[in-house]
């Protein structure tokens, strides 16, 4: 039986014959299928210090890709040739943090072992997921350099609360998966960190750019300079984008919002500048809580961050 207007099944979406949306370039991973970008959700936020439903972000950001096209007016290029393979979401345990950390790390390694893609995007979750993810890249790809966009150092002690979304980089440094001289923090915000944690970063040799440093210079120049420095000493570079680096006016859907952060344009330009170099193989996007968002502003910005990374 055929229908003229009735369309049982998936939701009907308007289609313009000349327009390709970004989500149309996404395929589910199957054995033997290859693509340029590997996408994996790390939907865990129970380790968050703030009340958070960031575990819902992978699906929210995926949906946001459907709002945008593959055509760049600024570059006058249509990136329809870029294919994204979606590996789905890693499994998590409802109560066991250590078991979940192990499962997330194993899931990232399984994606890398498939050797189906040349670059990768990980969608958190809170920032705690960066510990197992970066650890997996260290195991599979060698010495990792990290550019971290963040309002916070995320090197809290683990005695006061165990592993949380405030401890991933302390965990990485203390486990040996990351060296202090290979970590660059960008956008660290005033009145948002304890003195002890700034001192800890200094002792570890971490390179820190505060918002005052960003305002005094050019964020794209900072990124390019640090990429060139890291290239001399690491095997692969990983970008870790905590969305609370952005001012609350542009990213209201973060558990730890605050004033005085980056503009959305500064974030997009700096991620694009970093992503141009072939040594950059992965990026995670964390701390988007759809339940706190307004009109999907933060998820849509996260989708644009993905696009700046993907479309070079």
Q: Is 242 annotated as a binding residue?
A: yes
Whose tokens are 């009907």? That residue is: 12
Q: Is 199 annotated as a binding residue?
A: no
| CB distance 289 to 253 below 8 Å | yes
Strands (E), 104-216: 119-124, 144-149, 183-188, 207-210
User: What does DSSP say about strands 84-89 and 26-28: parallel, antiparallel, or unpaired?
Assistant: parallel
| CB distance 222 to 148 below 8 Å | no
- Please give the backbone phi and psi of residue 149, each rounded to the nearest 5 degrees, phi first: -90, 120
Residue 99 tokens read as 């078991």
User: What does DSSP say about strands 77-78 and 71-72: parallel, antiparallel, or unpaired?
Assistant: antiparallel
Element (H, E) at 141: helix 130-141
Contacts of 268 (CB under 8 A, 6+ apart): 304, 305, 308
Q: Is 152 annotated as a binding residue?
A: yes
Would you call the peptide bond into 288 cis, given omega within 30 degrees of 0 as the criterion? no
Q: Is 244 annotated as a binding residue?
A: yes
How far is Cα 108 from Cα 83, in angstroms, rounded to an integer? 19
Kindly report the length of the chain. 312
Closest by CA to 106, choosing from 136, 134, 86, is 136
- Annotated binding residues, as ranges? 127, 150, 152, 154, 242, 244
- Annotated binding residues for Mn(2+), as ranges? 127, 150, 152, 154, 242, 244
């Amino acid at each position: 039986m055929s229908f003229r207007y009735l369309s049982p099944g998936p939701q009907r979406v308007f289609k313009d014959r000349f327009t390709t949306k970004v989500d149309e370039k996404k395929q589910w991973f199957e054995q033997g299928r290859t693509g340029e970008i590997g996408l994996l959700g790390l939907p865990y936020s129970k380790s968050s210090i703030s009340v958070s439903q960031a575990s819902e972000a992978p699906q929210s950001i995926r949906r946001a890709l459907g709002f945008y096209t593959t055509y760049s007016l600024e570059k006058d290029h249509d990136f329809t040739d870029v294919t994204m393979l979606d590996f789905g979401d890693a499994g998590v345990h409802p109560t066991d943090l250590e078991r979940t950390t192990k499962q997330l790390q194993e899931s990232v390694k399984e994606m890398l072992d498939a050797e189906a893609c040349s670059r990768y995007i990980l969608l958190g979750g809170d920032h705690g997921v960066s510990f197992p993810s970066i650890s997996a890249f260290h195991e599979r790809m060698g010495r990792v350099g990290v550019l971290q966009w963040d309002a916070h150092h995320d090197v809290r002690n683990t005695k006061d609360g165990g592993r949380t979304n405030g401890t991933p980089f302390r965990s990485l440094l203390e486990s040996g998966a990351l060296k202090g001289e290979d970590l660059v923090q960008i956008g660290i915000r005033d009145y948002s960190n304890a003195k002890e944690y700034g001192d800890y970063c200094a002792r570890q040799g971490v390179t820190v750019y505060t918002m005052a440093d960003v305002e005094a210079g050019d964020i794209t120049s900072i990124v390019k300079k640090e990429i060139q420095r890291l290239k001399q000493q690491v095997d692969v570079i990983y970008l870790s984008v905590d969305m609370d680096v952005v001012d609350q006016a542009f990213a209201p859907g973060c558990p730890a919002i605050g004033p005085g952060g980056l503009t959305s344009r500064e974030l997009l330009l700096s991620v694009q500048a970093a992503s141009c170099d072939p040594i950059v193989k992965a990026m995670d996007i964390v701390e988007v809580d759809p339940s706190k968002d307004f009109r999907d502003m933060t998820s849509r910005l996260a989708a644009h961050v993905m696009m700046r990374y993907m479309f070079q």
